Amino acid sequence: MSFFELVNCYPEGSSSASRMALAARSLGYRGIIIFSRDPEKIFMPGAAEKVKGIEVAFGVEASASSPRALKSRISSLRSRYPFVAVLGSSDEVIRMASEDPNVDLLIHPCDSRRPLGIATARAASSNQVSIGFDLYPMIHLRGNHRARWLEALRRNLELIRKFHIRTAITAGAATHLDLRSPRELMALAEVAGFEPDEAKEALCQPSRILELNRRRWAGPGVEIL
């Protein structure tokens, strides 16, 4: 299976891209997508590409001060990067990202006060936007905070299943010590409420997105061969 993991590297994290690639390779990933708010500032991206036995791709996390500015930023980034993710920091951003077909992955925060809405889920489904779940809180939170996060995740998963939205899961690693192996991530996802098949599909989803974006498309459903 082509399991891919999404990672943050130095300067947004504290491990370099090549260290992340080495750690991910030893954990059994086929590739990593290094995504950053400013990919040009990533420390020594060339060194990561020299690590053998693992595919390294660079993506971008689009962010802007307002939803309108974000939309124009996404369209300008689309042609330059094979993977465009948006962090759902507010309701407006989540709604905008779910309606934009240029967005590959919307990382939902799973806040119990801001659940995934029906309109957002329907828009994400029709625009083929995948919803990403960062399992970092599952690993790092304890007690009441984690219980609330799990409750929000389970509620979101009901809508995901209803609208047949593709999902992705990640450990949200900022250092090589935050990385977890695919089996461990699947085990955590199953405890959080994913079905075993859903968890496996979610780990393969980033590679599927990359593969689609590397092909040349003239329009929706029309590929240039």
Partner 1 sequence: MRSRRRYMIFELESEDTSGLIQARDLMNEIASSQFSLFGDEGAAKNRLRLISFDGRIGLIRFSHLHLNETRATLAAVHSIRGIKAAIRTKGVSGTIKSAREKYLPRLVKLSYESDGRRIERKDISGCIIRTHGVKVDLCPDDRYKSAGSEAQFMGLTSLDLCGGHEDADGTADGL
Omega before 11 within 30 of 0, i.e. cis: yes
Q: How far is the CB of 10 from partner 1 (least distance, A)?
A: 7
* Residues 55 and 82: beta-carbon distance below 8 Å: no
* Interaction between residue 110 and partner 1 (CB under 8 A): no
Q: Binding string, 22-41, against partner 1, x = CB under 8 A?
A: xx---x--------------
Range in contact with partner 1 (rule: CB under 8 A) among 19-27, 77-85, 153-161, 211-219: 19-27
* Interaction between residue 157 and partner 1 (CB under 8 A): no
- Angle of CA points 5, 162, 3, to nearest 5°: 15
Of the candidates 6, 62, 74, 138, which one interacts with partner 1 according to CB under 8 A? 138
Query: Cα dihedral angle (71, 134, 44, 46), rounded to 10 degrees?
Result: -80
Q: How far is the CB of 35 from partner 1 (least distance, A)?
A: 15
Of the candidates 37, 68, 80, 140, which one interacts with partner 1 according to CB under 8 A? 140
* Interaction between residue 50 and partner 1 (CB under 8 A): yes
Range in contact with partner 1 (rule: CB under 8 A) among 16-24, 30-38, 61-69, 115-123: 16-24
Bridging pattern class, strands 217-219 and 222-223: antiparallel
Q: What are the CA-CA distances from residue 210 to residues 27, 85, 95 (Å)?
A: 21, 12, 23
Of 188 and 204, nearer to partner 1 (C-beta) is: 188
Q: Which amino acid is at 71?
A: K
* Interaction between residue 53 and partner 1 (CB under 8 A): no
Q: Residue 73: CB partners within 8 Å, gap ≥ 6?
A: 62, 63, 64
E strand segments, 120-206: 130-134, 167-170
d(CA 105, CA 129): 6
Q: How far is the CB of 194 from partner 1 (least distance, A)?
A: 11
Of 7 and 93, nearer to partner 1 (C-beta) is: 7
Of 20 and 74, nearer to partner 1 (C-beta) is: 20
Of 80 and 140, nearer to partner 1 (C-beta) is: 140
Of the candidates 178, 198, 206, 207, which one interacts with partner 1 according to CB under 8 A? 178
Q: Residue 31: CB partners within 8 Å, gap ≥ 6?
A: 2, 4, 5, 24, 54, 55, 56, 57, 207, 210
* Interaction between residue 47 and partner 1 (CB under 8 A): yes
Residues that bind partner 1 (CB under 8 A): 10-20, 22-23, 27, 43-44, 46-48, 50-52, 138-140, 142-143, 146, 174-181, 183-188, 190-191
